[in-house]
């Protein structure tokens, strides 16, 4: 849980220092006031980058050389500090409990986040990279052994593709063996979490909208599962050599969202697809919670912008009162109406200044 956060030189936010508490915190104010930048700063702290851009420069306040986000966390009954500095020259420095971190994945492990924003429709309708990130990001928290396995597979893929591009085939048997071993294990993990995601989705999605009552998830591993991955790689060896890259494997895996056996994007409206996206993120949060690695912080950006009051209330009901949730909206009334009778700590944001409200 986040207990306190300090933000300096992140877009229009400087010298921000706020205590946070369990339950819901809401920020409201005009567009461009700094509400989303507040969520962005937390995302930078927990992931190492913004959810709005992969570049460091736009996040750093104009005219400044760096930005800084520091928090105090409580996890498993212990309080500790963590922080990150990002510089315009792409240098990144991060510390947890006073010690330098060797990898930004340590930040994500310490501060699990679930981002709910209706701008990420590509997760449902776009290319498969986003859906693989959803699976792998969930597995990162659910299975401690997943990240080393994923890194082994990615390294083998880079090495093999480099050899294919250079026409070096004498070591390809070894790379195919490594890809097969790690890829099969990686896919087994993805299949497990996809099955869990599908089961939870069937319960949560209809609570957001009755039109999502028949939603299901189909997992595609990235090759013909009638073959082992090694057999698929061997069958494609000549073609891979001609193309200069590996054409089958978990790096081609995907999730398909179906409604009554039909692709969801073909039958759901844009509003329903947004609710499906939110349901997926809620399910991701549940899976992280259930694994015992720590309850995530839910970042909910401008929920009321494109959803009506009833659907916003449905989403807030699923978030519940026993989770740490940080929401944003343009006006205070839409937040209070959506959250209902539960406790809600309110802040007004104006031109980068954040003030607690009565």
17-35 confidence digits (pLDDT tens): 999 998 999 999 999 999 9
Query: At which residue do the structure tokens 């699990």 appear?
Result: 112
- The reported pTM is 0.94
Q: How far is Cα 194 from Cα 31, in angstroms, rounded to an integer?
A: 37
Are 68 and 88 part of one and the same domain? yes
Would 145 be classed as within a structural domain? yes
Q: What is the pLDDT of residues 201-256, one digit of tens each?
A: 999 999 999 999 999 999 999 999 999 999 999 999 999 999 999 999 999 999 99
Cβ contact 338:312 at 8 Å: yes
Quick check: 48 pLDDT over 90? Answer: yes
Average pLDDT (284-308) is 89
Residues 126 and 272 in one domain: yes
Model confidence band, residue 335 (pLDDT cutoffs 50, 70, 90): confident
Domain boundary among 275, 293, 311: 293
Pairwise CA distance, residues 222 & 26, whole Å: 41
Sign of the CA dihedral running 242, 248, 254, 260: positive
Among the residue ranges 163-172, 222-231, 272-281, the one predicted with the least confidence is: 163-172
Tokens at residue 218, please? 């189909």
Residues 162, 272, single domain; the answer is yes
Decide: 351 and 326 in contact? Cβ < 8 Å.
Answer: no
271 against 4, higher pLDDT? 4
CATH of the domain at 185: 1.20.1050.90
Note whether residue 10 is domain-resident.
yes
Q: Which of 239, 269, 293 lies at the terminal end of a domain, its last residue?
A: 293
Query: Which pLDDT tens digit goes with each residue over 308-317?
Result: 999 999 999 9
Q: Is residue 151 part of a domain?
A: yes
Containing H/E element for 335? Answer: helix 332-339
If one counts the domains in the chain, the total is 2
Domain identity same for 35 and 87: yes
Residue 76 resides in a domain: yes
* Block residue for tokens 């700094």: 34
Structural domain contains residue 117: no
- Average the pLDDT over 90-108 and give the result: 94
Q: Which structural domain range is residue 356 located in?
A: 1-112+294-358
Which pLDDT score is estimated for 170? Answer: 65
> Average pLDDT, whole number, for the chain?
93
């Amino acid at each position: 849980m986040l207990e306190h956060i300090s933000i300096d030189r992140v877009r229009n936010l400087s010298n921000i220092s706020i205590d946070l508490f369990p339950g819901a915190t809401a920020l409201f104010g005009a567009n461009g006031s700094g509400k989303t930048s507040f969520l962005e700063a937390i995302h930078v702290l927990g992931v190492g980058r913004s959810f709005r851009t992969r570049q460091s420069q736009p996040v750093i306040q104009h005219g400044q050389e760096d930005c800084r986000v520091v928090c105090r966390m409580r996890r498993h009954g212990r309080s500790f500090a963590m922080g990150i500095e990002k510089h315009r020259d792409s240098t990144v420095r991060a510390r947890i409990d006073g010690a330098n971190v060797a990898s930004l994945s340590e930040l994500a492990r310490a501060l699990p986040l679930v981002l709910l924003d209706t701008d990420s429709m590509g997760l449902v309708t776009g290319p498969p990279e986003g859906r693989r990130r959803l699976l792998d990001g969930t597995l990162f928290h659910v299975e401690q052994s997943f990240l080393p396995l994923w890194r082994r597979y990615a390294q083998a893929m880079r090495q093999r593709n480099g050899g294919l591009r250079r026409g070096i085939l004498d070591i390809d048997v070894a790379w195919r063996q490594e890809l097969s071993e790690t890829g099969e294990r990686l896919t087994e993990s993805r299949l497990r979490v996809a099955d869990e995601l599908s089961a939870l989705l069937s319960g949560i999605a209809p609570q957001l909208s009755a039109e999502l009552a028949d939603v299901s998830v189909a997992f595609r591993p990235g090759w013909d599962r009638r073959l082992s991955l090694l057999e698929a790689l061997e069958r494609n060896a000549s073609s891979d050599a001609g193309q200069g890259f590996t054409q089958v494997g978990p790096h081609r895996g995907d999730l398909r969202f179906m409604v009554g056996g039909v692709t969801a994007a073909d039958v759901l409206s844009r509003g329903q697809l947004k609710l499906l996206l939110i349901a997926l993120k809620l399910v991701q949060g549940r899976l992280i919670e259930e694994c015992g690695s720590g309850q995530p912080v839910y970042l909910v950006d401008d929920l009321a912008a494109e959803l009506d009051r009833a659907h916003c209330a449905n989403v807030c009901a699923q978030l519940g009162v026993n989770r740490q949730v940080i929401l944003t909206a343009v006006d205070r009334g839409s937040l209070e109406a959506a959250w209902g009778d539960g406790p809600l700590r309110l802040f007004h944001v104006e031109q980068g200044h954040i003030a607690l409200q009565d």
